Chain A
Amino acid sequence: MASKGTLTVLNLAGAGKLLSRRAFSTTRLVGAKQMTVRDALNSALDEEMSRDEKVFILGEEVAQYDGAYKVTRGLWKKYGDKRVIDTPITEMGFAGIATGAAMSGLRPVCEFMTFNFAMQAIDQIINSAAKTFYMSAGRVNVPIVFRGPNGAASGVAAQHSQCYGSWYAHCPGLKVVSPYNSEDAKGLLKAAIRDPDPVVCLENELMYGVQYPMSDEALSSDFVLPIGKAKIERPGKHVTLVAHSKAVETCLEAAKELAGKGIEAEVINLRSLRPIDTDTINKSVVKTNHLISVEQGWPSCGIGSEILARLMESEAFYHLDQPALRLTGCDVPMPYTQSLETAALPRPVDVVDAVKRLLKVK
Chain B
Amino acid sequence: MAFKTSLSCACNVFFRHFSRTTLKSSPITQPKFPGAKTSWTEKLQFTEPSQYTPIPVYRVMDRTGNILDATQEPQIKDEILLKMYKDMSVLNVMDKILYESQRQGRISFYMTNYGEEATHIGSAAALTLDDLVYGQYREAGVLMYRGFSLQDFVDQCYGNSDDKGRGKQMPVHYGSKDLNFVTISSPLTTQMPQAVGSAFALKGTNKVVVCYFGDGSASEGDAHAALNFSATLECPVIFFCRNNGYAISTPVNEQYRGDGIAGKGVSYGINTLRVDGNDVLAVYNVTKLAKEYAVKENKPVLIEAMTYRVGDHSTSDDSSAYRSPKEVADWATNDYPTKKFRYYLESKGLWNGDKEKQLLEQTKKDVMSAFSVGEKKLKPKWTEMYEDVYKFLPAHIRKQRDSMVEHLKKYKEHYPIDSFQK
Contacts and interface: CB of A to CB of B under 8 A. Distances in A.
Contacts of B224: 90, 93
A99 to B, nearest CB: 5
Most A CB contacts (10 A, CB to CB) among B177, B226, B229 go to B229
Contacts of B199: 100
Most B CB contacts (10 A, CB to CB) among A94, A99, A139 go to A139
Interface stretch (A102-110, A212-220, A296-304): A102-110
B260 interface: no
B165 A96 contact: no
A104 B173 CA distance: 19
B165 A93 contact: no
A340 to B, nearest CB: 34
A123 B193 contact: no
B197 A104 contact: yes
A16 interface: no
Nearest to A198: B390
A93 B389 contact: no
Contacts of B195: 100
Interface string B387-422: 111111011100000000000000000000000000
Given A96-B194, A197-B390, A136 B233 contact: no
B228 A93 contact: yes
Nearest to B192: A96
A124 interface: yes
B198 interface: yes
A187 B177 CA distance: 33
Contact of A134 (B197, B222, B225, B388): B388
A173 to B, nearest CB: 6
Given A127-B187, A137-B166, A100 B391 contact: no
Interface in A133-148: 133-141
Nearest to A85: B233
A106 B200 CA distance: 10
Contacts of A127: 185-187, 190
B182 interface: yes
A133 B175 CA distance: 12
Contact of B200 (A88, A97, A134): A97
B316 interface: no
A128 B175 CA distance: 14
A132 B194 CA distance: 12
Given A87-B229, A88-B228, A93-B229, A136 B165 contact: yes
Contacts of A101: 197-198, 200-201
Contacts of B187: 123, 127-128
Contact of A90 (B134, B225, B395, B396): B225
B170 to A, nearest CB: 9
A96 B197 contact: yes
B134 to A, nearest CB: 8
A102 B193 CA distance: 12
A104 B177 CA distance: 11
A127 B394 CA distance: 20
B300 to A, nearest CB: 12
Interface string A176-215: 0000000000000000000011000000000000000000
B212 to A, nearest CB: 14
A106 B201 contact: yes
Given A124-B190, A275-B394, A135 B183 contact: yes
Interface in A71-111: 85, 87-88, 90, 92-106, 108
A139 B175 contact: yes
Nearest to B226: A93
B198 A104 contact: yes
B121 interface: no
B390 to A, nearest CB: 5
B205 to A, nearest CB: 10
Contacts of B194: 96-97, 99-100, 103, 124, 128
Interface of A: 85, 87-88, 90, 92-106, 108, 123-124, 127-128, 132-141, 172-173, 175, 196-197, 228, 275
4 A-B pairs with least C-beta separation: A93-B225, A96-B193, A100-B197, A100-B194
8 contacts: A88-B229, A97-B197, A100-B194, A100-B196, A103-B194, A105-B201, A136-B165, A136-B388
